[in-house]
């Protein structure tokens, strides 16, 4: 029994931010009913890659533990089914454009009138007053994130995954859990709103803080860090190794490990602040030492010296590393391999009961349940 057992979530979201939020809730025991148009969630058609059965892996990544019903909200009968579901739900999550749910009698005021205790979560691209579609790539661009990603003398790049969608989904899930706790204490539901742009600015953490608190507009630095050095992949005798020095004690250990302990006492490099200012002088000294051994050998040497470091893996190697560390990253969800929820709960662990559903797979049983209710 998960911690959210008994909680019914009406999931009117699609693509990534909303479905990721609702999958996290489903992993924790909520009964998530995925409401799709007759054409299905957009990601059902985002191919390739596919699994062995030809199902898009993008869709599979964020839809386990859910039941699916297909409803055409423009059809009065289906819209009535949707309103009955909203009436019964503890939580409703959607990411239609602002005003989109209200067109079908499913806006917050409409649902709250039917279901006063509902926790209603609206996810948008740019807030409730903007109708610009919210795609992760757009928000990475307009938020400033892309301006920070890439080589200093090259073009801006997006991150290799839709990180803003994922962060927004996490914020939405946090808001839902907070609102459920408030409802348990007071009996009152509420309207949660979050958007991709706000989530992006929050997720840029030290970079947005550099501007709003320090008046500094950050810029692309490739793999370097604005405030830490060395903190980047560094060339060795064969391949690159990530070295991440977060304090002066670690730098002292690094200097000793590469055979140059005097660097830690050099006034140009003794503290993080001066290392940042003098990184152009320190880098060639470190690279000259690192050239003596290949990356894998340095990995063993530096790790034994308790210096944060690691190779640049591909995704397969990342999964393999998690497996070697006993993290069991791959789990079976109703016969479909999926990536484990990162939470571990000692009493109420996440569940992996249901495979990502086929379109309208549970439509008949959900309609029967609503009629019985």
Q: Is 68 left (phi over 0), alpha (psi -120 to 50) or beta?
A: beta
Measuring CA to CA, which residue among 54, 196, 75 is closest to residue 124?
Answer: 196
Domain 8-205+334-372, CATH homologous superfamily name and number = Crotonobetainyl-coa:carnitine coa-transferase; domain 1 (3.40.50.10540)
pLDDT confidence of residue 293: 96
pLDDT confidence of residue 369: 96
Tokens of 97: 């454009």
pLDDT confidence of residue 131: 79
Tokens of 157: 């790049």
pLDDT confidence of residue 265: 97
- The model carries a pTM of 0.93
CA dist 194 → 100, 263, 365 (Å): 16, 48, 32
306 is catalytic: no
pLDDT confidence of residue 75: 97
The correct CATH number of 231-316 out of 3.40.50.620, 3.40.1160.10, 3.30.565.10, 3.30.1540.10 is 3.30.1540.10
**Please, are residues 34 and 69 in contact by the beta-carbon 8 Å criterion?**
yes
**Please, are residues 339 and 348 in contact by the beta-carbon 8 Å criterion?**
no
Chain centroid to Cα 343, Å, comes to 13
CA dist 8 → 26, 60, 165, 168, 295 (Å): 9, 21, 23, 21, 51
Q: Of 27, 31, 78, 165, which is the active-site residue?
A: 165
pLDDT confidence of residue 186: 97
274-278 contact pairs (CB < 8 A, 24+): 275/229, 275/230, 275/251, 276/227, 276/228, 276/229
Measuring CA to CA, which residue among 340, 88, 90 is closest to residue 190?
Answer: 90
Measuring CA to CA, which residue among 127, 148, 142 is closest to residue 205?
Answer: 148
- Give the helix ranges, DSSP H, for the chain: 17-27, 57-61, 76-88, 108-114, 136-142, 163-186, 196-203, 205-212, 248-257, 272-277, 279-290, 295-304, 315-324, 363-372
Chain centroid to Cα 320, Å, comes to 21
CA dist 258 → 68, 171, 277, 285 (Å): 57, 42, 21, 10
φ/ψ of residue 366, rounded to 5: -70, -45
pLDDT confidence of residue 130: 85
pLDDT confidence of residue 329: 98
Q: Which residues contact 135 (CB under 8 A, 6 or more apart)?
A: 125
Sheet with 309-310: strands ordered across? 231-235, 240-244, 309-310
How big is the CA angle at 229 (ends 225 and 234), to the nearest 5 degrees?
85
pLDDT confidence of residue 270: 96
Give, as one character, the DSSP assignment of residue 128.
Answer: T
pLDDT confidence of residue 132: 82
Instruction: State the residue for tokens 């990411």.
Output: 95
Give the domain ranges of the chain. Answer: 8-205+334-372, 231-316
Virtual torsion, Cα 86, 88, 91, 94, nearest 10 deg? -20
Chain centroid to Cα 297, Å, comes to 33
CA dist 278 → 231, 258, 272 (Å): 14, 19, 10
**Please, are residues 67 and 354 in contact by the beta-carbon 8 Å criterion?**
yes
pLDDT confidence of residue 13: 97
pLDDT in tens, the chain (373 residues): 799 999 999 999 999 999 999 999 999 999 999 999 999 999 999 999 999 889 999 999 999 999 999 999 999 999 999 999 999 999 999 999 889 999 999 999 999 999 999 999 999 999 998 878 889 999 999 999 999 999 999 999 999 999 999 999 999 999 999 999 999 999 999 999 999 999 999 999 999 999 999 999 999 999 999 899 999 999 999 999 999 999 999 999 999 999 999 999 999 999 999 999 999 999 999 999 999 999 999 999 999 999 999 999 999 999 999 999 999 999 999 999 999 999 999 999 999 999 999 999 999 999 999 998 6
């Amino acid at each position: 029994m998960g911690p959210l057992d008994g909680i019914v979530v009406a999931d009117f979201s699609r693509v990534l931010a909303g479905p990721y939020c609702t999958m996290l809730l489903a992993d924790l025991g909520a009964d998530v009913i995925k409401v799709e148009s007759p054409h299905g969630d957009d990601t059902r058609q985002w191919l390739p890659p596919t699994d062995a059965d030809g199902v898009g892996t993008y869709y599979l990544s964020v839809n386990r533990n859910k039941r699916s019903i297909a409803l055409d909200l423009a059809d009065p009968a289906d819209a009535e089914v949707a309103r009955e579901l909203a009436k019964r739900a503890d939580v409703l999550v959607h990411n239609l454009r602002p005003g989109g749910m209200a067109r079908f009698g499913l806006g917050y005021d409409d649902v709250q009138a039917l279901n006063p205790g509902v926790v209603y979560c609206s996810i948008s691209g740019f807030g409730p007053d903007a109708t610009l579609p919210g795609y992760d790539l757009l928000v990475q661009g307009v938020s400033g994130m892309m301006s920070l990603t890439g080589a200093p003398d090259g073009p801006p790049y997006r991150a290799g995954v839709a990180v803003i969608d994922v962060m927004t989904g996490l914020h939405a899930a946090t808001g839902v859990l907070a609102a459920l706790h408030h409802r348990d204490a007071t009996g009152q539901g509420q309207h949660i709103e979050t958007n991709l742009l706000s989530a992006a600015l929050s997720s840029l953490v030290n970079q947005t803080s550099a501007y709003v608190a320090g008046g500094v507009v950050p810029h692309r630095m490739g793999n370097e860090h604005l405030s830490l050095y060395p903190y980047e992949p560094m060339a060795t005798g064969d391949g690159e190794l990530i070295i991440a020095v977060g304090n002066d004690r670690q730098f002292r250990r690094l200097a000793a490990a590469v055979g140059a302990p005097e660097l830690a006492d050099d006034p140009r490099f003794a503290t993080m602040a001066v290392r940042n200012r003098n990184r152009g002088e320190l880098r060639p000294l470190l690279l000259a030492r690192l050239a003596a051994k290949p990356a894998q050998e340095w990995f063993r040497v530096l790790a034994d010296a308790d210096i944060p470091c690691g190779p640049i893996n591909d995704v397969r190697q990342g999964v393999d590393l998690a497996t070697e560390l006993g993290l069991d990253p791959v789990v079976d969800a109703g016969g479909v391999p999926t990536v484990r929820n990162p939470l571990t709960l000692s009493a109420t662990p996440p569940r992996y009961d249901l495979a990502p559903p086929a379109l309208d797979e549970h439509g008949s049983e959900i309609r029967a349940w609503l009629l019985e209710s």
